[in-house]
Structure formats: structure tokens, C-alpha cells
Amino acid sequence: MDLATYWTVRDTTAADCLELGPVLTREEAEAEARRHRFPFLVFHRDYRDDTHILVHAEHIIYRLYDVPLLVLQQRIFCRICGVECDEATPRSRENWRDFHEFENMGHQTVELRWTAQGWIPVRRSDSVQ
């Protein structure tokens, strides 16, 4: 049985992830996470059989409390009528999107996330048939 261990750092949504590799100690991995401003550090331990099939995986998540949580700015708006969702939580935004597309047949919504490059689309939904 083969054992692979490695560290990753993640943001609050796990959308951004950076793999640090197997050679770091926990202290070195924490220093890298702080340097890149990621609030979560994840230790992965993967057990694989002789044919390299994953048999068992362990994940240990560490929260670095001195690194602030990233607050993502997201918004959803309709491409057809231009109405924008003002809901705060991801679940509320998802409900608003579903209701808007159901009540307005043929409308399409787009979810945007604020990045250093400006607003970029996260996911495009198909119109309700």
C-alpha cells in the first residue's frame, strides 16, 4: 500500500486552492498559507493500493485565526431584463435565481464574482424550459 501526504491551502469557499506539496512540515505549510493570505490549511493523507486506486483518504483542516476570512462579493442579475438580486446569502441568491427564471420563462441569469480583474462570471444558468 502506498501513502501520499501533502498540504493544500484554501479560501472560505474552497474555490481557490493552492497545493503546497508533500515536503513541507506543518510550520512551513502554515507560513506559506499566511504568506498567501489563505485562512484554511488542509493536510491530506491518501492511501493507495498497488494499482494506484485510492483506498482511504484522511483530511485534517486547520483554521489559521490570524488570517482574516475572505469575504466574497457576488451578485446575480438577469441578462434579459437586467433585474439584480439583492440577497445576502448564497442560498438566498440561488433561490432568487430559480424563482426568477421560473416566473419569467426564457430569462437567463448570470452569477458574478468580484476579483482583481473586475466582475467575472462564475456560473451561467440555462433558461427554464
Q: Where are the alpha helices (DSSP H) in the chain?
A: 26-36, 90-103
Residue 37 scores a pLDDT above 50: yes
Cβ neighbors of 31 (< 8 A, separation 6 or more) are none
Predicted confidence band at 127 (pLDDT cuts at 50, 70, 90)? very low
- pLDDT, tens only, 65-110: 888 776 667 788 888 898 888 766 777 888 888 889 889 888 888 8
For 83, other C-beta atoms within 10 Å of its C-beta total 14
